[in-house]
Amino acid sequence: MSGWALALQLLVLPAVLLSLVEAAYLPLALVAHARRPADPLRVPSNPFVSVVVPAFDEGRVLRRCVDSILADRYLNKEVVLVDDGSRDDTWEVMKSYRGRPGVVVAHQTNAGKAAALNHGISLSRGSILMFVDADGVFSGWTIRGMLRGFDDPRVGAVCGNDAPVNLDRFQPRLLTLLTHVTAMVRRALAQVNCLTIVSGNCGAVRREVLDEVGGFTEGLLGEDLELTWRVRRAGYRVSFQPEAIVYAEVPAGVGPLWRQRVRWARGYLQTLWMHRDLVGSVRHGVVGPYLAVNALTMVVAPVLQLVALGIILGLAVDDSQTLYGTPASTLAWALLLFPVLSVVVSAALNGSWRDLRFFYVLLVMPVYSTVMNAVMVTAIVQQLRRRPSRWNKLERTGVSSRHGIPDGARF
């Protein structure tokens, strides 16, 4: 076996390490699914829900979003729309909903997503506040599914379930399968009270909890993540509700995906620094130690994996260096099968067997994992250099491949 063939073989290293992490989540996710209520859409009460939708240059997709929220079968709700100084026709679209029952429309000078969310909160009346991006599309049972997560007074926030709506290209199809894995991980973390993220595209918080911990911190790239950490710091649980589906666009090109993931990584690093005293602390229960492990896997591991990959590629020029046929090599290739198993089980838990028709895209998982490691390294460098925190918002296409989005997914 040549050195270059060895280097190609060991490109799978990041995916192998990811498999080891996922191996711990899979059984917990199965337990969480087995414990779900017989009627996952039953809610214990009928609270008034405010759905806050911030928007900046979202005219292409906003109407579809608002119409889906208004059509949601949960009736005790309002929709609060906030235009963050858009340059397109977003404000015109919003104004067309003026006078509609249960719709509040507001405009502000461009100040960022967090500021628009806080503006919307100030105008809202609900005891439960939902936050949705302007490209999000409700399933018809999204709000009811979200409310099911508040069945325990100790739950301060609920994370919903994202589902890509644009499946017309290779990359979105890969991200669709990985979204199911993300849902599996969130099921597992919620099962052991370690969930520390409420998605900004599909999340909800009790008003009294928000009043206690404060609103969204402005000037951050990960305002949803940072708010969730404050909720956890205050002693509240965070629940995951797979029934609370919001369909949304995912990046269709490599460039937009890179910018989005660097933004997410920088948001994580900013939150990690702001709450560094929480990491590893046992004063807040299990979440502190979990955040320490999470920081190692999210920040340290990607750097080490890229360094290891560089060393391996350097050794590849020496044909005498080979791991072919060794136990380590055999184990590495065997572990590569685990992401396949994770995707199948995750799609099954989400009732999304049809998405498995895109199974072939998993062939690029080793490359994708390596690129995601490079994303974190780039984010670290940008943070150390104190690069400005630009939003780099995904440009919407309006593409929807899920024709006739169902009234509710089967779980």
Rounded mean pLDDT, 153-170: 91
- DSSP lists the bridge partners of residue 130 as 51, 204
- DSSP lists the bridge partners of residue 55 as 83
Q: Is the pLDDT of residue 298 over 70?
A: yes
Residue 20 banded pLDDT, cuts 50, 70, 90 = low
Strands (E), 149-207: 155-164, 203-206
Q: Which residue has the tokens 């894995």?
A: 181
Mean residue pLDDT of the chain comes to 84
Q: What is the pLDDT of residues 261-288, one digit of tens each?
A: 999 999 999 999 999 999 999 988 889 9
Query: Structure pTM?
Result: 0.86
Q: Is the pLDDT of residue 6 over 80?
A: no
Q: What is the pLDDT of residues 313-340, one digit of tens each?
A: 665 555 555 545 555 555 555 555 666 7
Residue 34 banded pLDDT, cuts 50, 70, 90 = low
Q: What is the pLDDT of residues 236-256, one digit of tens each?
A: 999 999 989 999 999 888 999
pLDDT of residue 136: 93
Residue 24 banded pLDDT, cuts 50, 70, 90 = low
Asked whether the beta carbons of 286 and 409 are under 8 A apart, the reply is no
> What's the rounded Cα separation, in Å, for the pair 263 and 224?
13
Q: Which residues contact 167 (CB under 8 A, 6 or more apart)?
A: 173, 176, 358, 401, 402
Sheet holding 237-248, edge to edge: 103-108, 77-84, 49-55, 128-131, 203-206, 155-164, 237-248, 137-138
The fourth-level CATH superfamily of domain 26-254 is: Spore Coat Polysaccharide Biosynthesis Protein SpsA; Chain A (3.90.550.10)
Rounded mean pLDDT, 125-139: 95
Which DSSP category does 110 fall into? S
Lowest mean pLDDT among 125-129, 190-194, 223-227: 190-194
Backbone angles phi, psi at 155, to 5 degrees: -80, 120
pLDDT of residue 109: 95
pLDDT of residue 411: 33
Lowest mean pLDDT among 203-207, 275-279, 299-303, 404-408: 404-408
Show me where the domains of the chain are located.
3-22+288-384, 26-254
Residue 352 banded pLDDT, cuts 50, 70, 90 = confident
The string of DSSP codes covering 224-237 is HHHHHHHHHHTT-E
